[in-house]
Structure 1
Amino acid sequence: MPRRVPEELLPHLRRARDLADREYAQPLDLAGLAAAAGVSKYHFLRCFTAVYGRTPGVHLTERRIERAQDLLRATNLTVTEICHLVGYSSLGSFGTRFRQLVGVTPTEYQATFAESGAPRIPGCWVFMHGLSDRRRTAQFGRSPHRSRRSTVEACRTIDPEDTL
């Protein structure tokens, strides 16, 4: 029998889900998501599962793989770069989970869209505009402005034939 969740808890669960959707690339754990909802982690786990039909961990994994699919289709980034951009630290774990959810490996998935010849977004553009400066600053210990300049320099070295 499905668990009944108090209606006043729904906005709090939505806030935690929105946090996972927005910060999917960050290391998120059950305690952090529960804190965003303002409830204990075990109560949060039960209620989230009852409302959304899957655990917060499964939801986060699906969000990361969906974002990876977008990047694989639309950019010229490598699978390893995308793996790290969507929050995985292990290429093996990323590849295994991707294959479980999508049915093919990330490389095979990317190759199917590369064959279509559609224009692809250069990786430097994704790094320059697609990531928040907060994440890059925390990851590399640099100021956001210095990171942005080094990325702009990297973009200047791209072969014009590889861009849109």
Structure 2
Amino acid sequence: MIVREPNREYNLDITDESCGVIANASALARSLPFFVYCAGQIGAKKECYTKTWYLDGVLLLVTTRGQGRFTYQGKTCVLGVGDIVFIDCTQYHEYCTLGDFWENYYIRFDGSAARTYHDYINRDGWRVLSCNDIKATRKLVGEIINLCLSPDDHAPLEISLALSRILTELAVSTHRSMETSELSPAVRQAKEFIDQHYAEQVTLEDIARASLLSPYHLSRTFKAQIGVAPHAYLNQRRLDKARRLLLTTQMTVQDISDRVGFSNVNILIRSFKNAAGMTPTAFRSKNFY
């Protein structure tokens, strides 16, 4: 059955063995580095899918059986056993079963250290991560699910510790794996230039000059290392800033378009709709009701 809520749409075509818990985070839990909103184990059948426009916190999702398709920040990836996604839930994302079955364990959480880990792990752009020990990770996530149901006063502390263990191992392993695949100096310079000047009328030639490469060479190299072309990355940065302004200010869509660097408000509207599945105005209304 398809369910439509203000911030998301989903079809829970799942197995009877699936389980999930919505945690009631106490004041103690919310004062810790990590606390959980919800967690679960999902056996997703063929028609299962989720589209999310905005939720609080970050999401850690681990594939344990089968395959799924995950779309985030304009990129669509196939997830297999041992693949992990770690994303910002305030950004549009969608995922579904690929084939007949997909089992995943998930945790949506927040806390004073959650964004620090998220930004560190994804510091060179979002990508699918790999799990070194799928059994150990699945066990830890299972423990967190059980702890969310525990009446023990110490459960929030144990949840925060378990998440710290998972994320620290993920951060360290990600850093080590990237030591052999670091961004080239030219691509890093191009990325930093876009991050600093996205609100200006930046052209491919401007980015190429900052990287000391020709536009053609930069486009090819940037896409190979970042996963998207320079123009697409620039568009993502502008849309991310526009989304935050829509949620945190009362600025008009026209003013936001000017603020984040779009040359025409219609380009913002069209790009936003392609990325989020709705217009900026609809997105703002959907998240403030």
Whether TM-score is above 0.5 comes out as yes
Aligned to 1:101: 275
Q: Which structure 2 residues correspond to residues 82-97 of structure 1 after superposition, within 5 A?
A: 82-97=256-271
Which one of the candidate residues 13, 25, 47 is aligned to 2:221?
47
- Give the alignment's Cα RMSD to 1 decimal: 1.6
Name the TM-score, length of structure 1 as normaliser: 0.63
Which of 27, 42, 59 is the matching residue for 2:233?
A: 59
The aligned length equals: 109
Aligned counterpart, 1:129 = none
Shift of the alpha carbon at 1:52? 0.8
SS in 2 for 1:98: helix
Bigger fraction of residues in helix = 1
2:191 corresponds to: 17
- Aligned match for 1:79, one of 253, 266, 275: 253
User: TM-score scaled to structure 2, two decimals?
Assistant: 0.36
1-structure distance, mates of 2:245, 2:231: 21
Please state whether the residue corresponding to 1:85 is helix, strand or coil. Answer: helix
Task: Determine which structure has more spread, i.e. the larger CA radius of gyration.
Answer: 2
Amino acid of the structure 2 residue aligned with 1:40? S
Q: Which sections of structure 1, spanning at least 5 residues, go unmatched?
A: 1-6, 116-164
Deviation at 1:67, TM superposition (A): 0.5
Runs of 4+ in 1 over 4 A off after TM superposition: none
SS at match of 2:228: coil
* Alignment gaps of 5+ in structure 2: 1-180
CA distance in 2 between counterparts of 1:105 and 1:43 reads 34
Q: State, as a whole percentage, how many aligned pairs show the same letter.
A: 34
Higher fraction of strand: 2
